[in-house]
């Protein structure tokens, strides 16, 4: 069964291919089928993931899966939430994508620390919402949510990962996400938790595996 990933992120594609390797699925990126990026105008991870999955399923003419994820901080009412990747509003000049991401990440982290000044409650969680559809008009979307709880540090720690990883301390592991090796991160992450749920849902509802 072909499953179109509503993303052109090569790392996300490889990660989901590995996580769903036990199922008879061929997961392909939407860009390889000429499907453009979908709009993400909604206020929740669920609505954005559903919109992206429907968009990919409609244009590709088959099953699709989408992920919407980000950081939710209790003291900020759940912010940055769906705008996690662009929390700090920057007008970046055209340039190499990886360099732009590093600049954006640095600005996002600085803004998060600024917003949390004076707050004693620094609890937060990474959230990943996966939505899978058999077709664009599937009345029974499969929904899986992974939550990875932690605490926002007062300063960055670790050089690995990306985004908010240097500020997100995981008490259960005694390290920041940026201090974890890739294998440990992938085994415990919010996306891994959501994927494990989705794998079981696909086995039960789609009779795969």
Active site residues per annotation = 68
Question: Would you say residue 113 has pLDDT above 80?
Answer: yes
> For 27-39, how does the pLDDT look when each residue is reduced to its tens digit (9 = 90+)?
999 989 999 989 8
| Pairing relationship of beta strands 175-176 and 2-5 according to DSSP bridges | unpaired
* CB-based contacts of 15-19 (< 8 A; 24+ apart in sequence): 15/186, 15/191, 16/65, 16/67, 16/195, 19/191, 19/192, 19/195, 19/196, 19/199
Which has the closest alpha carbon to 114: 73, 159, 148? 73
| CATH class entry, domain 2-197 | alpha beta
Global pTM value: 0.91
- Mean pLDDT, the chain, integer: 93
Q: How do the domains of the chain map onto residue ranges?
A: 2-197
Q: Looking at the chain, how many residues does it have? A: 209
Question: Is the pLDDT score of 127 beyond 80?
Answer: yes
Express each pLDDT in 61-110 by its tens digit: 999 999 999 999 999 999 999 999 999 988 767 667 778 888 899 999 99
CB 115 within 8 A of CB 177: no
CA 133/CA 205 separation, integer angstroms: 11
Residue 92 confidence (pLDDT): 67
For the chain, give the percent of residues with pLDDT over 70.
Answer: 98
The span from the CA of 189 to the CA of 127, in Å, is: 9
Between CA 56 and CA 5 the distance in angstroms is 8
> DSSP label at 165?
G
Higher-pLDDT residue of 92 and 16 is 16
Is the confidence at residue 162, as pLDDT, over 90? no
The pair phi, psi for residue 113, each rounded to 5°, is -60, -40
Overall average pLDDT of the 152-179 stretch: 95
């Amino acid at each position: 069964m072909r499953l179109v990933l509503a993303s052109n992120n090569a790392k996300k594609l490889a990660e989901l291919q590995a996580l769903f390797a036990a199922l008879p699925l061929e997961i392909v990126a939407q860009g390889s089928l000429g499907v453009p990026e979908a709009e993400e105008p909604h206020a929740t991870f669920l609505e954005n993931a559903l919109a992206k999955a429907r968009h990919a399923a409609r244009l590709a003419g088959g099953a699709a899966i989408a992920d919407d994820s980000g950081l939710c901080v209790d003291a900020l009412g759940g912010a940055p939430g769906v705008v996690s990747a662009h929390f700090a509003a920057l007008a970046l000049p055209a340039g190499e994508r990886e360099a732009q991401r590093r600049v954006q990440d640095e600005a996002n982290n600085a803004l998060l620390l600024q917003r949390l000044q004076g707050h004693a409650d620094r609890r937060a969680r990474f959230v990943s919402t996966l939505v899978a559809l058999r077709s664009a008009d599937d009345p029974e979307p499969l929904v899986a949510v992974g939550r990875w709880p932690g605490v926002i540090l007062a300063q960055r720690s670790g050089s690995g990962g990306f985004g908010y990883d240097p500020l997100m301390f995981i008490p259960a592991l005694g390290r920041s996400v940026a201090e974890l090796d890739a294998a440990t991160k992938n085994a415990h992450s919010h996306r891994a938790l959501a994927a494990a749920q989705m794998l079981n849902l696909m086995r039960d509802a789609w009779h795969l595996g």
